[in-house]
Amino acid sequence: MKELDLKLNEYFGGKVVRKDLTKLVKGNAIVPIYVLEYLLGQYCATSDEETIIQGVETVKTIISKHFVHRDEAQIIKSTVREKGSHRIIDKISVKLNDKEDQYEAYFANLGLKAIPIADSVIREHQKLLSTGVWCILTLGYVSTDERGTSPWIIESIKPIQISISDLDEFKEGRKAFSKEEWIDVLLQTMGLNPEEFTFRSKLLQLTRLVPFVENNYNLIELGPKGTGKSHIFSELSPHGMLISGGEVSKAKLFVNNSSGEIGLVGYWDVVAYDEFAGKTKNTDRGLVDIMKNYMANKSFSRGTQVYGASASMVFVGNTDHSVPYMLKHSNLFEALPKDYYDTAFLDRIHAYLPGWEVQKLRNDMFTSDYGFIVDYLAEILKELRKEDRTNEYAKYFELSDTITTRDKTSIIKTFAGLAKVIYPHGELSEEDMQELLDFAIECRKRVKLQLQNMDETFEEVDFSYTIKSNGKKITVETLEVLEHLTPVQETTFISDSPEQVLQSSIPKKLLKEPQIELQGGQKLIRDNQSGISYDMLFGAYFINATDYKIIDPYIRLPYQLRNFMELAKLISEKKDPDTEVKLHLVTSNNEDYIDGAKEAFEQMTYSLESIGIIFSYEFDDNIHDRSIVMDNGWKIVLGRGLDIWQKTGGWYDVNEYIQEKRICKACEVTFLKY
């Protein structure tokens, strides 16, 4: 096992499970992950391989014998009748039959209806009164001649969820992990491989957990298909309910006026709307009005009575166009149904998660390592809802006075939610807080910028804050604005003011003009930023250089060798066609890669010679820093070396061929005149 897996088993033994086991036991059962991991937690919550193998077989047997498939419902009914009773796994919902003065259960897969269930069960598990809860129950059959009496009897029932969790124990265990380790644990719990994600990408994934830890939190995520937007709300927690955006009604969501029954917001911590986007979708304008009131005031009225609830609202859907198109021709809310395309409704959204930044899920993005049993984590998140950490940021930072009350509420709820998820023990530094505050401000600013675009009556807001310790003002910008709306001509370097961020790059049309005035300083590239190429970063600094020394310890893997060849191509474009230039690479290697690297470098030598580049290389195992040194007096210090981009989708992904389309890793590039 990896070191992190060993550590997780040491501090949370019995509460973690290997995440690839769910695939082994699921088969063709249409059942949420938290149901499967509930069972795996009973038999496989260990690091002992033999116990895991036996446990997997036990869970497979339970699923095959007791899980009710719709097409096998009659067989299960027959089994119950022949045996007298039988244990089953099914989704159960309960309704009150006021004529008979009794509660009655409805079985989603078995198809049984109006089966009497004890009042005591409902008092203990009120969620059964909503749209259904997965349960393990013993169903009995007693034949009777009495007319109108059902032979079916619910002998025992247990909703699949851990009813007791020790939050203090959880917080104490968290102290043993670094920030990076804990974030990776949470990613693995979600079934994802943290090695395939940058810090910002991990933060995007973890923001999907905020509605589970914050009461009345309103989140929207719009983006392309296949990024797992709805998965977490249907699979990760028994306290979340995923519904189709087109199937929502006032009665289902809030309260049924005829029966007086409270809807979903009264029973669930999170109500998520799947496939929420779609301009032509039919919607109920009256529902939108009730939702606006609920999202703003945590209450709703039906008839003459006012009700309160704490359910968070999540809206997920697909975008119709690319981000540059939407920013230029419309706005980031353009895909919503017309009745939800309402500034008053959208202003209630606390955070807009940029779904276009979330990578489409590939096989290598799933983990086979350990993570919390999702049911255990779900109960912990539910306990954390009771805590208020919205003012924690104020210890170090002060938000701008121009930020409205609604904007501030949105920012601090996102901040507090992420703080609970990543730092449940409450131990975080000023730097840690600043990371979360920056991200929270960006998520709200994304909403506000679109509202200003849609309605000119929305005033501009200065989304900045002041660091109390030194009085410095920090202004936060959304990544898509930096990428697509900042004028290319406005190049900003970081020199005297380290807080300034690169707004854009040197215009391509000027790159070959030696007369432009180059500056020393620093450029910062943000996680998930696109629109960056070697040419835009430092192409202008190659002008008049004839001798290059590249120092990068990691030029060995195929994509790293590709990066180096792309740099060589840029050098050839910047030099005089009649001039030869020298290109020397200093890198390091090990036994696993050195033969392949030598072969690649020898091929490069002959290839580059044909375009006037005299290439040479050497191996030095003691180097660490990365840089480009040229004989024109410039040195470029590369924080990450040439490896500035995240992994592409492979040969058939256009990002493989166009640098500006690739998504970047966070890094710094420093320009020094010597």
pLDDT at residue 581 in the model: 94
Q: How many CA atoms lie within 13 A of 502 on its CB side?
A: 23
The DSSP code for 361 is P
Q: What is d(CA 352, CA 221) in angstroms, rounded to the nearest whole number?
A: 6
What's the whole-number mean pLDDT along residues 263-292?
87
What's the whole-number mean pLDDT along residues 323-336?
90
- DSSP code per residue over 390-445: TTGGGGTEEE-TTS-HHHHHHHHHHHHHHHHHH-TT----HHHHHHHHHHHHHHHH
Which tens digits make up the pLDDT trace of 514-546?
456 788 999 999 999 999 999 999 999 999 999
Q: Is the pLDDT reported for residue 594 higher than 90?
A: no
Q: Of 244-258, 356-370, 462-476, where does the model show the most confidence?
A: 462-476
What's the whole-number mean pLDDT along residues 62-78?
89
pLDDT at residue 513 in the model: 44
Contacts of 590 (CB under 8 A, 6+ apart): none
Q: What is d(CA 250, CA 257) in angstroms, rounded to the nearest whole number?
A: 9
What's the whole-number mean pLDDT along residues 38-48?
84
Short-list 495, 478, 248, 471, CA closest to 357: 478
- Give the model's confidence band at 501: pLDDT under 50 very low, under 70 low, under 90 confident, else very high: very low
Which tens digits make up the pLDDT trace of 620-635?
988 989 999 999 999 9
Q: How many CA atoms lie within 13 A of 498 on its CB side?
A: 2
Higher pLDDT, 29 or 575: 575
pLDDT at residue 162 in the model: 54
Look up residue 488 and give its amino acid: V
Q: Of 10-24, 30-44, 631-645, where does the model show the most confidence?
A: 631-645
What's the whole-number mean pLDDT along residues 658-662?
92
What's the whole-number mean pLDDT along residues 364-371?
91
pTM of the model: 0.77
The token pair at 106 is 């409805």
The DSSP code for 160 is S
Q: What is d(CA 238, CA 233) in angstroms, rounded to the nearest whole number?
A: 9
Higher pLDDT, 418 or 590: 418
Q: Is the pLDDT reported for residue 495 higher than 50?
A: no
pLDDT at residue 508 in the model: 38
**Element containing residue 346 per DSSP (H, E):** helix 343-346
384-395 core/surface letters (b: 16 or more CB in 10 A; e: else): bbeeebbebbee
pLDDT at residue 246 in the model: 62
pLDDT at residue 314 in the model: 96
Per the CB < 8 A criterion, the answer to whether 36 and 59 are in contact is yes
Q: Is the pLDDT reported for residue 161 higher than 70?
A: no
The vertex-643 CA angle with 614 and 181, nearest 5°, equals 155
- Mean pLDDT score of the chain, rounded to an integer? 88
First vs last Cα of the chain: how many Å apart?
A: 49
What's the whole-number mean pLDDT along residues 188-206?
94
pLDDT at residue 573 in the model: 93
pLDDT at residue 258 in the model: 72
pLDDT at residue 639 in the model: 93
Which tens digits make up the pLDDT trace of 559-580?
999 999 999 999 999 998 878 8
CATH class of the 165-376 domain in this structure: alpha beta
Short-list 316, 151, 298, 111, CA closest to 233: 316
CA distances from 340 to 158, 249, 253, 310, 354 (A): 39, 14, 16, 21, 18
Which tens digits make up the pLDDT trace of 467-492?
999 999 999 999 999 888 765 433 34
Q: Is the pLDDT reported for residue 511 higher than 70?
A: no
Q: Is the pLDDT reported for residue 228 higher than 50?
A: yes
Q: What is the percentage of the chain residues whose pLDDT exceeds 90?
A: 57
- Specify the fold of 490-673: Endonuclease; Chain A (3.30.870)
Q: Report CA Rg, the chain.
A: 29
What's the whole-number mean pLDDT along residues 191-219?
95
Helix (H, G, I), strand (E, B) or coil at 288: helix
- Give the model's confidence band at 502: pLDDT under 50 very low, under 70 low, under 90 confident, else very high: very low
Q: What is the percentage of the chain residues whose pLDDT exceeds 70?
A: 94
Angle between helix 374-384 and 167-174 (nearest 10): 100
How far is C-alpha 575 from the chain's CA centre? 44
Short-list 632, 629, 631, CA closest to 670: 629
What's the whole-number mean pLDDT along residues 594-617?
89
The token pair at 97 is 């039959």
Region for 641 from its dihedrals, namely left if φ exceeds 0, alpha if ψ lies in -120 to 50, beta otherwise:
left
- Give the model's confidence band at 190: pLDDT under 50 very low, under 70 low, under 90 confident, else very high: very high
Q: Is the pLDDT reported for residue 504 higher than 60?
A: no
Q: Is the pLDDT reported for residue 382 higher than 60?
A: yes
